[in-house]
Chain A
């Protein structure tokens, strides 16, 4: 008869081995950089870096909602949808779209294709222009893109455009200035060096709260960040240049409005250097010079010192 002790000893040996392995592996796992359990964010633990892919999917879905479902798939011609229209229309990003956005479907290829187009959205509309109803006076439907933008931001807090695009529609078409500011501040906490968010937050103060001092501070901070991050690059790409022009033009016009003409001129010269329409900026410059000479400020005023304040 075989001893009953042998299986018990094997079992004990296995348990000791498992315990020892677990103790060794746990030390390694805790110090491993890919350890998701260190994050307190449930989504991060579950999805890891794939969150960013889902975040982009939901951002594009928001744009599909902006078009009331009329949106190209991966099998269609997407040239006219390279930059989401809801982002381009918000003026927070530069556009790269070309081609005909009205007819990416082309002509029906067969009778099934022709029939199917009567059974799904097949007309180009924007929610801020009434959407499927075509009621141009009703732009409040744009609120429907918000859930997807919120989810996109939750999944990837480092995608700047989600904050700036959401904030624009919240304050411009939904009248929710406080929510827009809160959302931008969430974005700024997650991305403290983002000049895009600072610029958009400045617009909230300038256009909605009419607090031009804070707007100026934010735009100056945005400009400083832009110069720190992008100006050193040999030829900033179009989208980056677009935002520089936006920031500097808003600063220039604000200074002009407040009568700080020398500062306004200084900004306008920099604006002109990077603007795709220098002749139009030159007209602004001549206008400011005329105002300076009529106000007699040209020899007395000094450019105002930057008063960058934490936003």
Chain B
């Protein structure tokens, strides 16, 4: 376990040494402040449009950070030839992968803390109340979703030939799932066999990342989600993350690293 934590520590240090997070965070702040300065019919209590824009920026930025950070982990170790010295130490390939995953996941968690703190402060300036439980649930589900994406990107970094290909494929797949996955069952019902079974099968196989997107609930001030529902969703996400990680470990064990 100490090996995994040590590797993850290096990944976290890498994130805060790189400028990606700072640039994306400042960009989000600037966009939100500009949008917040717009006057709509002299009403300074209008806030939901601002919450929506802020959350959209947070989701895009977090996905960019998660995918780009994860996709380059193993390839850069190979390119820099630091993979051999790493594995020469008492560190197994599985531990290296788990360390990379944990590091990326924790780094994204830290980024989310900053983003959601900013979001909460922004919303509080106009709404004058702070639904902490709802924000906590949204951030937690968001973090679990990023766990699935990171595990998928890590798996992709071992399967695809280049980090750029992996990054592009990850973005396309994640966007497809977030936009369409919820509706695949309805689409399947209108298709003839065997396409119906194929689409319905796909619906059950893919990780439903959109389940973790509870932006509408916090934009429109819906009551907090029941904790048992949150727990089931989190378990669902962690199961997929574990499945991708195990697949990645199996691929990495058999992969020639020279």
- B136: min CB distance to chain A, Å: 15
Query: Residue on B with the closest CB to A65?
Result: B48
| B contact residues around A170 at 8 Å (CB) | 41
Given contacts A146-B43, A179-B42, contact A121 B216 (CB under 8 A): yes
CB-contact partner of B221 in A110, A119, A132, A143, under 8 A:
A132
| B contact residues around A121 at 8 Å (CB) | 216-217, 220, 222
Report Cα–Cα, A179/B44, bound state, in Å.
14
Q: Check if B46 sits within 8 Å of A147, measured CB to CB.
A: yes
CB-contact partner of A131 in B46, B47, B213, B220, under 8 A:
B220
Surface stretch bound by B, among A67-75, A224-232, A233-241, A292-300? A67-75
CB-contact partner of B220 in A76, A118, A132, under 8 A:
A132
Q: List which A103-122 residues lie within 8 A (CB) of chain B.
A: 109-110, 112-113, 115-116, 118-121
Q: Mark B151-165, 1 if CB is under 8 A from A, else 0.
A: 000000000000000
Q: Check if A115 sits within 8 Å of B216, measured CB to CB.
A: no
Q: Does A174 contact B (CB under 8 A)?
A: yes
Surface stretch bound by A, among B16-24, B167-175, B180-188? B180-188
Query: Residue on A with the closest CB to B228?
Result: A118
Q: Check if B46 sits within 8 Å of A73, measured CB to CB.
A: no
Q: Is the interface of B mostly helix, strand, loop or mixed?
A: helix
| A contact residues around B48 at 8 Å (CB) | 65, 144
Given contacts A109-B185, A116-B208, A147-B49, contact A132 B222 (CB under 8 A): yes
Q: Check if B221 sits within 8 Å of A133, measured CB to CB.
A: yes
CB-contact partner of A118 in B208, B216, B225, under 8 A:
B225
Q: Check if B221 sits within 8 Å of A69, measured CB to CB.
A: no
Q: Check if B41 sits within 8 Å of A174, measured CB to CB.
A: yes
Q: Check if B229 sits within 8 Å of A179, measured CB to CB.
A: no
Given contacts A176-B42, A179-B41, contact A119 B222 (CB under 8 A): no
Q: Check if B41 sits within 8 Å of A176, measured CB to CB.
A: yes
Q: Does B84 contact A (CB under 8 A)?
A: no
Q: Check if B46 sits within 8 Å of A143, measured CB to CB.
A: yes
Report Cα–Cα, A113/B210, bound state, in Å.
11
Q: Check if B229 sits within 8 Å of A118, measured CB to CB.
A: yes
Q: List which B232-258 residues lie within 8 A (CB) of chain A.
A: 232-233, 236
CB-contact partner of A75 in B49, B187, B214, B229, under 8 A:
B187
- A241: min CB distance to chain B, Å: 31
- Of B183, B214, B220, most A-chain CB atoms within 10 Å: B220
Q: Mark A167-198, 1 if CB is under 8 A from B, else 0.
A: 00010001010010001000000000000000
CB-contact partner of A119 in B41, B217, B220, under 8 A:
B217
Q: Check if A69 sits within 8 Å of B41, measured CB to CB.
A: no
Query: Residue on B with the closest CB to A67?
Result: B220
Q: Mark A59-99, 1 if CB is under 8 A from B, else 0.
A: 00000010011000101100000000000000000000000
| B contact residues around A75 at 8 Å (CB) | 183, 186-187
Q: List which B72-114 residues lie within 8 A (CB) of chain A.
A: none
| B contact residues around A148 at 8 Å (CB) | 49
Query: Residue on A with the closest CB to B51?
Result: A144
Query: Residue on A with the closest CB to B181?
Result: A112
Q: Mark A248-264, 1 if CB is under 8 A from B, else 0.
A: 00000000000000000
Query: Residue on B with the closest CB to A182?
Result: B41
Query: Residue on B with the closest CB to A146?
Result: B40
Report Cα–Cα, A144/B47, bound state, in Å.
7
Q: Does A214 contact B (CB under 8 A)?
A: no
Q: Does A203 contact B (CB under 8 A)?
A: no
Query: Residue on A with the closest CB to B223?
Result: A132
Report Cα–Cα, A133/B222, bound state, in Å.
7
Q: Does B26 contact A (CB under 8 A)?
A: no
Q: Does B29 contact A (CB under 8 A)?
A: no
| B contact residues around A183 at 8 Å (CB) | 41
Given contacts A68-B222, A121-B216, A146-B43, contact A115 B233 (CB under 8 A): yes
Q: Does B219 contact A (CB under 8 A)?
A: yes
| B contact residues around A119 at 8 Å (CB) | 141, 211-214, 217, 225, 229, 233
Q: Does B203 contact A (CB under 8 A)?
A: yes
Query: Residue on A with the closest CB to B43?
Result: A143
| B contact residues around A144 at 8 Å (CB) | 46-49
- B208: min CB distance to chain A, Å: 6
| B contact residues around A120 at 8 Å (CB) | 213-214, 216-217
Q: Does A272 contact B (CB under 8 A)?
A: no
CB-contact partner of A115 in B45, B47, B232, under 8 A:
B232
Given contacts A75-B187, A132-B221, A144-B48, contact A176 B43 (CB under 8 A): yes
Q: Check if B182 sits within 8 Å of A116, measured CB to CB.
A: yes
Closest 5 pairs between A and B when the two form their complex, measured CB to CB: A69-B216, A68-B220, A75-B183, A147-B49, A144-B48
9 extra interface residue pairs, beta carbon distance < 8 Å, beyond A69-B219, A112-B203, A143-B41: A65-B48, A69-B217, A112-B211, A116-B182, A119-B214, A119-B225, A131-B221, A146-B40, A147-B46
B residues within 8 Å of A by Cβ? 38, 40-43, 45-49, 141, 182-183, 185-187, 189, 203-204, 208, 210-214, 216-217, 219-223, 225-226, 229, 232-233, 236
